Chains A and B, each alone.
Chain A
Amino acid sequence: MSRRPVRLLAALGLVLLAVSGWRAFTLLPGFGSVPHPYGARAVDATFQHATANAVMSVTLDQRAFDTLGEEIILLGSAIGTVLLLRRMRAEEEESGAQHTYGPEEVFESLRLTGYVLLPVTVLVGLYIVVHGHLSPGGGFQGGVVLATALHLSYLAGDYRTLERLRPLPAFDVAESLGAAAYLSVGLGGLVAGSALLQNVLPQGRLGDLLSAGTVPVLNVAIGVEVASAFVLILAKFLEQALLVREHDVPGDGGSGDGGEG
């Protein structure tokens, strides 16, 4: 198709979209007005299960099966990344020590900030994971904070420390264990005579650390899994960007510096 009919068609589509969108938006209830019937029931069920965070209750208690699907997605994407970015025969890997920068190359304040913030951020991440059922946050958010906390050592200029902090086989295993733990807790619901992922643990009192039954347990499982998945993905990308080189093909006429990027 030449350009002019395509543009006319696009303009027609945009006009139709605008008209129907305007009509749809004016028929919606007002912003922040009457609560949705599903929302009212969801909040009721939240308080029946002594969970202080309604979002966490919906995610891990009422719709826990959907979260299981999301976990599998993250697991699959981490496995796919590790598989696709594995070292091929035509590639070689530099040592991480070449990307460790000392005091003369990195600002002192940057290094100090990185080293001081790392344990603080890990602690904040653990807090977000464990208190998911009480305050905003949860397994996914805390897991991302934990994963990125480790990389503060890389930002401080020390790739070698980052390599030591994240032994990849351990995180491989941790990721699978996290996903398996989630499913095991779900199967516990079946064993207890109820449905899959049913909240069968004692609910406790609203606002306690040990309340809401299975929600904190699932939170921890998701936290482990998400942190490990993100560490794996970032590790593979960092390796590709920093360390992996292609072997020099013999007969190249000798690229002088041996393939250094």
Chain B
Amino acid sequence: MSDWTIAVLLAAVAVMAPVVVLTREPSRQALVLSAYGVLLGVLMVALDAPDVALSQIGVGVAVVPLVVVLAIAACNREVERHRRDRENRS
């Protein structure tokens, strides 16, 4: 692909990476990470690496944010339950 396309995509990746880091809420950060994964996938296609792009989109966009969100949901549920147990007891 043309050098300008690659340069623009690289700049977009450089801008979005701090955005992912600075999203503080963990479940929101997982979704922003998913979007960042799509951008990375597009960059990889622009760099003529479609196999890597497929892996990135499959794992980084679908599986990893799902696993993170599920883990957070499980933890939050336990925290909520213990907090409610303590309130009910007191």
Contacts and interface: CB of A to CB of B under 8 A. Distances in A.
Contact of A141 (B3, B58, B77): B58
A127 interface: no
A241 B68 CA distance: 11
B74 to A, nearest CB: 4
Interface string B59-78: 10011001100110110011
A238 interface: yes
A202 interface: no
A255 B84 contact: yes
Contact of B51 (A55, A233, A234, A253): A55
A238 B73 CA distance: 10
A137 interface: yes
A252 interface: yes
B58 A233 contact: no
Interface in B45-62: 50-51, 53-55, 58-59, 62
Given A138-B51, A240-B74, A252-B89, A144 B62 contact: yes
B59 A237 contact: no
A29 B74 CA distance: 49
A136 B67 contact: no
Nearest to A53: B51
B28 interface: no
A2 B71 CA distance: 35
Size category of the binding interface on chain B = 20 to 34
A123 to B, nearest CB: 16
A148 B58 contact: yes
Contact of A234 (B55, B66, B73): B66
Interface string B1-25: 0010000000000000000000000
B70 A240 contact: yes
A159 interface: no
Nearest to A230: B63
A63 to B, nearest CB: 14
A255 B85 contact: yes
A140 interface: yes
A112 to B, nearest CB: 21
Interface string A40-63: 000000000000010110000000
A233 B59 CA distance: 12
A256 interface: yes
Interface in A220-261: 230, 233-234, 237-238, 240-241, 244, 246, 252-256, 259, 261
16 contacts: A55-B51, A128-B54, A136-B51, A141-B55, A144-B58, A144-B59, A148-B62, A148-B63, A238-B70, A241-B71, A244-B74, A253-B85, A253-B89, A255-B85, A255-B88, A261-B77
Interface of B: 3, 50-51, 53-55, 58-59, 62-63, 66-67, 70-71, 73-74, 77-78, 80-81, 84-85, 88-89
Interface of A: 31, 53, 55-56, 128, 136-138, 140-141, 144-145, 147-148, 151, 230, 233-234, 237-238, 240-241, 244, 246, 252-256, 259, 261
Given A145-B58, A151-B66, 13 more contacts: A136-B50, A136-B54, A137-B51, A144-B55, A148-B62, A230-B63, A234-B66, A240-B71, A241-B71, A246-B81, A255-B84, A255-B88, A261-B80
